[in-house]
Structure 1
């Protein structure tokens, strides 16, 4: 059994100004740094054994702040934890791009299931390397929602910056226990070892997702 604490990074200026961020490497702003200091405030105390993050600097900065605040070892980064690549929408105004592409099918955009697949595989590998441990995974809004949605089989609302969700892998079962600080009770969804739960939403349902 491995417990994953999925933390969305703190706010950036791209978040603040409504720009598609995705694979763009943008640092935290002052609000984002403050959010990182409080990212674990809503959870019951958990003895975290380590923290791993996306290599994008907003996630690395968030992980470093949390690790220093709570004396958690940093275990490095994994590129499979990176945010979705929005293709031509990267760095552009959300309203403008959604007007041009209402279904968010931006040229060059990474596929939703592709993002989820690499995320599940990264967690599978972490579980194999750290059995029985509790690990913080600092990543990104759309990335985290794709993982959680694939497990519970339903569309999720927006996940705010600097919030914690809990995902447990036990044997071949994934279970979502908390979403953005709110505890939930959902049945586990069985997944064959090494395989991915299927993301349940059609492409045109992407619009409410984060930047």
Structure 2
């Protein structure tokens, strides 16, 4: 079993201004750096074996801050953990773009299935390489939310900056077991899914999961 602590990176200026960020490589702001320093506060202590991140600078800087603060080895980056590509919405105000494209049907947007497939492929490979380890993985709000929604089958709310979720992965020759036990710092009764290792998509979500639960519909 590999335990993943999934941390959303700290705040950026795009976050503060309410802009779609996605694959845009926007750095942390001062608030985001402070969130990184506090990311593991008030959580049960876990002996983390290593920290990893997506290749985007806001995630890598968050991971390196946490790693230095807690004497955790930084084990590098993985491009499969980058945020969803919002296509034409990148860098634009959320409300404005949702008005223009109901259902977040932005031209050039990456599909929900693509995000889940690459994220699960990355974690499956890491779990196979690092069995019985506890790994911090700093990534992005939509990617983490879609991944957790795929396992739990629930439409989840936004994942706040600097919060930790927990996901356990057990890999075997024919099947994998994925278990979510914490979402954004809140413990919950474990939600478990067992899926075959046959090359088919592990989890599937309808497109309405692109919008966090509880987000008001776009204005007319």
Band of TM-score, shorter chain: over 0.9
Matched with 1:133 is 133
Deviation by residue 1:91-126 (Cα, 9 ceiling, x = unmatched):
011111000001101000000011010000000110
For 1:177-188, list aligned pairs within 5 A: 177-188=181-192
Matched with 1:60 is 60
Query: Are the counterparts in 2 of residues 103 and 205 from structure 1 also a CA contact under 8 Å?
Result: no
Q: Which runs of 5+ in 2 are unaligned?
A: 216-220
What is the count of residue pairs matched by the alignment?
209
Query: Are the counterparts in 1 of residues 181 and 191 from structure 2 also a CA contact under 8 Å?
Result: no
Matched with 2:2 is 2
For 1:48-87, list aligned pairs within 5 A: 48-87=48-87
| 1:204 match: secondary structure | helix
Query: Are the counterparts in 2 of residues 153 and 199 from structure 1 also a CA contact under 8 Å?
Result: no
What RMSD over aligned residues (CA atoms) do the two structures have, in Å? 1.4
TM-score by length of 1: 0.95
Give the Cα separation in 2 of the matches to 1:164 and 1:135.
12
Give the Cα separation in 1 of the matches to 2:184 and 2:83.
17
Give the Cα separation in 1 of the matches to 2:196 and 2:117.
13
Matched with 2:193 is 189
TM-score by length of 2: 0.91
Matched with 1:45 is 45
Give the Cα separation in 2 of the matches to 1:156 and 1:173.
20
Of 168, 176, 180, which residue of structure 2 is paired with 1:176? 180
Q: Which runs of 5+ in 1 are unaligned?
A: none
- 1:208 counterpart = 2:212: yes
